[in-house]
Structure 1
């Protein structure tokens, strides 16, 4: 399958500056996020769908084709998770998510859990005003990182972790939520290489590269 990137807005704290819709094959939002997109004058014609249970929107707007509103009433899943399912069905492979953090902490943790459930089917990156963050593949290269703050957070644990390019390197080590975690490290080289064999890690890259995509990442 060819890489097919999606842009998704959900109902957390909205970004101060909305990202450009250019370059995305699919653009969507949940019903709660539609309000801030309209207030911030996002070009609504770019939206491919607006999904949700419509507890915060009536499912109609004069500026959007009615067929783009998708009602997903299943109360056993969050609006975010249901939007991810639609993106998978549409052939999406990568998703940039805005509005995933801030506001109520239970929503933030729920969003991480949803991303965890979909990490084998979608490459999901969250963006907020402080950082970008994502579940790391077992082999990862981050480029243009020198001087950037990078945190490695186990979810809930990860083993046999080795890094190259960080100030405090890991050499075949483990991190866990009940033991040592790897927050607030920083890059001393342009490229940071990460490898681990078991478990799951969330990588946080601090603000300077969060909104503009200047720092690249790739899996090996």
Structure 2
């Protein structure tokens, strides 16, 4: 898909890489470049590497210099700057690996950056436990029976109704200061979520989980 990008950033590296051929653009931040090289990702597939490159060796400079995009703005994170470049190159959606793990302030920062771009880019994060992304006010997802489903308000959601979950909501409200919707799970193959006000971050477990009903 020419309008879909793959981006690696400097969190925990994935155990398995997605198929590069399904993306129109592939990029990484300079911190992620180190683990891609160590794990044997085909670096020739990279379209650009962004960052300040203060930790790169001369060998890296020589071989991949034409792919480096220097981004020195200290008021923005490397993730933020990489998304700006991806937008400039015409991509409409991006799959992000390395968004979680490591220092947790980075993880929270990455979610905040995704919130800033949510109306311009379709951003989906992947890690070893789940995929997660902001969803529109009417949303359906299929093929998720018995998977963990977490609804995280950012920072609040009003008049939310769900179907297909073990603990459904009907015209409910969620807020980070009172009630959040984490650690639910789907009892149907399809889950439907609708809400009227606010913004909602959806977490979907990567693998089907065994639930005992005890929480």
Q: TM-score, normalised by structure 1?
A: 0.90
Distance 1:53 1:38, change over 3 A: same
Aligned with 2:179: secondary structure?
coil
How far the C-alpha of 1:57 sits from its partner, in A, is 2.5
Structure 1 position 180 matched with structure 2 position 173: no
Task: Report the Cα distance in structure 1 between the residues aligned to 2:71 and 2:165, rounded to whole angstroms.
Answer: 43
Normalized per residue, the structure richer in helix is 2
Task: Report the Cα distance in structure 2 between the residues aligned to 1:43 and 1:138, rounded to whole angstroms.
Answer: 38
Q: Check conservation: 1:60, 1:69, Cα contact below 8 A.
A: no
Paired residue for 1:51? 50
| Structural mapping, 1:23-38, within 5 Å | 23-38=22-37
How far the C-alpha of 1:64 sits from its partner, in A, is 4.4
Task: Report the Cα distance in structure 2 between the residues aligned to 1:178 and 1:51, rounded to whole angstroms.
Answer: 36
Structure 1 position 22 matched with structure 2 position 21: yes
Distance 1:198 1:59, change over 3 A: farther
Aligned residues: 208
| Structural mapping, 1:1-220, within 5 Å | 4-58=3-57, 61=60, 64-208=63-207
How far the C-alpha of 1:172 sits from its partner, in A, is 1.0
CA deviations over 1:81-110 (Å, ceiling 9, x no partner): 000000010111111000000000110011
Q: Which runs of 5+ in 1 are unaligned?
A: 210-220
Aligned with 1:153: secondary structure?
strand
Distance 1:155 1:6, change over 3 A: same
Q: Check conservation: 1:45, 1:64, Cα contact below 8 A.
A: no
Q: TM-score, normalised by structure 2?
A: 0.92
CA RMSD of superposed structures (Å)? 1.7
